[in-house]
Structure 1
């Protein structure tokens, strides 16, 4: 990849997220690539270049948690920001305990997303 900017990959089965979020990330100054499924991301060349992963919790087939587990098995240490439409109060603490940088509820706002990305790149996780 010739782009020297940090790559943020987005994995979400929601077509509108896959179309809009990479554009926003590019506006923030990052390189961005979207995938509609965890399996697609794992099979991609971008896996090794990804500096941060924005990952939907609930997807058909491989869920966000399944992908997080698979990355751990492969020893791919990529900071993960989960996004979810689920209004379950217990999910955020659980995801953070499992090593996620942040868990944002959809629809999230730009400042919250940028703050989570900055946290991911601080390397505290």
Structure 2
């Protein structure tokens, strides 16, 4: 494995993970990222990357689409299956329309053909890192909201779902077969436990849980 650290803060700065079986290409990419002040680390295969890299950390992947022993698409599929928010940019010397379509449908953020323009790759990396930051922030928000939801009773959860779907208290009461006063009491408890001062905030939290 070839590793390069451009900055000293290992916990905060995003990492560009390079995966390519061609050592010359790995070295060239590490040089490019070093010169442009981007922290990077390189791997000769997807297996090596997946077995050693922290895929929950901030960053993105720049991977060769076709490699012996496992393709870049295999890496992307594994990241998605494990819940990683890390974006993947594909590089290939054998670009064709079907390959690019498969890559983008699988969730790749970009697809570049070798030889590529350095600035195009840097722009793609910057976009991917911004996207990763947004994804990680969303996940942190979702984890916080799920922790609040876990404190709700089953009945409070039913009331919350009714309220955020736009139903009035009396409609929720009819739907659940309870009194309107009971719905009001549950609703007050939901607002307190969900740390929401307004219905709009409660709705936003519920919607955020549905996002990917």
Judging changes above 3 Å, is the alpha-carbon distance between structure 1 residues 45 and 97 closer, same or farther for their aligned structure 2 residues?
A: closer
Judging changes above 3 Å, is the alpha-carbon distance between structure 1 residues 50 and 63 closer, same or farther for their aligned structure 2 residues?
A: farther
**Structure 2 partner of 1:15:** 23
Write 1 or 2 for the structure with the bigger share of helix. Answer: 2
Q: Distance in 1 between matches of 2:103 and 2:82?
A: 19
**Structure 2 partner of 1:80:** 88
Write 1 or 2 for the structure with the bigger share of strand. Answer: 1
In the TM superposition, what is the alpha-carbon distance from 1:89 to its structure 2 partner? 2.2
Which structure would you say has the larger Rg? 2
- Give the SS at the match of 1:29: coil
> Is there any run of 5+ residues in structure 1 with no aligned partner, and where?
none
Q: Distance in 2 between matches of 1:20 and 1:109?
A: 13
Query: Greater relative contact order (Cα 8 A, min sep 6): structure 1 or 2?
Result: 1
Q: How many residues align?
A: 125
71, 79, 84: which one aligns with 1:63: 71
- Give the SS at the match of 1:54: strand
**Structure 2 partner of 1:38:** 46
Q: Distance in 2 between matches of 1:73 and 1:40?
A: 17
* Aligned CA-pair RMSD: 1.9
**Structure 1 partner of 2:60:** 52
In the TM superposition, what is the alpha-carbon distance from 1:50 to its structure 2 partner? 5.0
> Is there any run of 5+ residues in structure 2 with no aligned partner, and where?
1-7, 136-212
Instruction: Note if contact 1:7-1:50 (Cα within 8 Å) is conserved in structure 2.
Output: yes
TM-score by length of 2: 0.54
Instruction: Note if contact 1:9-1:50 (Cα within 8 Å) is conserved in structure 2.
Output: no
Query: Once the two structures are superposed, what CA deviation does each residue of 1:43-94 show, in whole Å capped at 9, x if it has no partner?
Result: 1144343510001110011111111111111111211000001131222232
96, 107, 112: which one aligns with 1:99: 107
**Structure 2 partner of 1:28:** 36
